[in-house]
Amino acid sequence: MPEKLDGKQVAAAIKSEIASKVKDYRESGKRAPHLAIIIVGDDGASHTYVGGKINACKAVGFDYTLMQFAGTISEAKLIKHIESLNEDEDIDGFIVQLPLPEHISVEKVTECIAPEKDVDGFTNQNFGSIVTQHPLLLPATPFGIMELLKRYDIVTQGQNCVVVGASRIAGAPLSLMLLQQGMATVTVCHKYTKDLAAHTRNADILVVAVGKPGLITEEMVKEGAIVIDVGTTRVEDKTRKSGFRLRGDVDYDHVAPKTSFITPVPGGVGPMTIASLLMNTLRAYETSEQGEG
């Protein structure tokens, strides 16, 4: 039987560790870490994700500020708000929830975030810090995956790790982290990869971050592999009150029996991404408090 990599449970343990630190800080007369969240427009999924992040802040005792803007806000105005958060000494870290409306450049906006407050780990400096091995704030989703592997004592050193998907927020930084910190042999696959299955079948650890439900089928996975499914696609489900459910990139029911460890969707990588956001915010706070000496 495969063991479930229970991101929900691990994230709960991380939250309780953070909550206890925050309690100690408060009791010693210090302020609490403070996260700001910017959301633009009225995308339903984005509002749900932001709600989850706010609940996580509440659970660990962080202060939080939610800044909501209409989808018509100009890029220049949004950047002004970002610059004021960069300057605001009460804010330790902040995120700009994606996606943004089409008239706003994600790259431009991201690069305006001060790297020391970039708790999503999206800026070029934080991305590059994976390679220099002096990480400031690591990209949240890959950081969460590395932490999940660590907490299950899964050794990556020398393992064949195959990462399917090479996006800037998930696959690309994760492959670098597996290579640098994880000391693994890493193969990165993307939409132009020839014969995807030939690569995935070679994986001791297979990570899939594509956004195509059911992409990875039983025949594509080696017996005993460890499988991490990052994909979260909303698919219609009329039996649910919400009208949808989340599906991963892996055909879980058929793949799971072949694996030694596998993440469920939901309840695997998603909660770990939120836990990473909290770990990064705590780190930004502690760095800034030390700086104030």
- 196 counts as binding ligand NAP under rule CB under 6 A: yes
Q: Does 118 participate in catalysis according to the annotation? A: no
Does 192 engage in binding with ligand NAP (CB under 6 A)?
yes
Q: Binding of ligand NAP at residue 273 (CB under 6 A)?
A: yes
Contacts of 58 (CB under 8 A, 6+ apart): 64
Annotated active-site residue 23? The verdict is no
Residue whose structure tokens are 């990462």: 163
Does residue 263 bind ligand NAP (CB under 6 A)?
no
Alpha helices (H) along the chain: 7-27, 44-60, 75-87, 106-111, 124-132, 140-151, 171-180, 196-200, 252-255, 269-292
Cα separation of 117 and 138, whole Å?
11
Active-site residue (options: 6, 97, 117, 204)? 97
Query: Does position 139 bind ligand NAP by CB under 6 A?
Result: no
> By CB under 6 A, is residue 80 in contact with ligand NAP?
no
In the sheet where 261-262 sits, what is the strand order? 3-4, 261-262, 226-229, 205-208, 160-164, 185-189
Nearest approach, Cβ of residue 84 and ligand NAP (Å): 27
Phi/psi of residue 174, nearest 5 degrees: -65, -40
Segment interacting with ligand NAP (CB under 6 A) among 31-39, 119-127, 152-160, 266-274: 266-274
**Among 109-117, 151-159, 183-191, 284-292, the segment contacting ligand NAP (CB under 6 A):** 183-191
Residues recognised as catalytic: 53, 97, 120
Summarize as ranges the residues that interact with ligand NAP (CB under 6 A). Answer: 141, 164-167, 169-171, 189-193, 196, 209-212, 230-233, 269-270, 273
